[in-house]
Structure 1
Amino acid sequence: MLKLSEILVANQELESFDDLLPIIQAIARDGERFFRMDVKPPFPDTPENWEDRLEATFSGLVR
């Protein structure tokens, strides 16, 4: 299971929530099956529905 906190630590160069989405998509495409959102993304543009958006991105509902 991959955790959001691990993604954020490994990609400290990210500057916005929108920069995070392609990373999540790439991880899902590489075969990761489980994704846990254990922290809120620390970006000023993180939307209120951030959990829904990340889940949709991970599950392939957003392209």
Structure 2
Amino acid sequence: MAALIVVGEPAGAGGRRVSVMRRGREESLGTAFSDHDVIAFLQTAGLSDPEEVLDDPRWVQ
């Protein structure tokens, strides 16, 4: 199974692009500058407990 959440490499401004796979398509959630930003994006995307999946490589790349 491919990861459903992708946190990209640091960009020039220091943030990381965060995206999710939804309905077979990659959907960008935004640019995160902290772990808190990633958690907030995932909550907005509908994950009920995003902190539980962040350290799981089956979910996050």
TM over 0.5: no
More helix by share: 1
Q: TM-score range by the shorter chain?
A: 0.3 to 0.5
Q: TM-score, normalised by structure 1?
A: 0.35
Higher relative contact order (CA 8 A, sep 6+): 1
TM value normalised by structure 2: 0.36
Higher strand share: 2
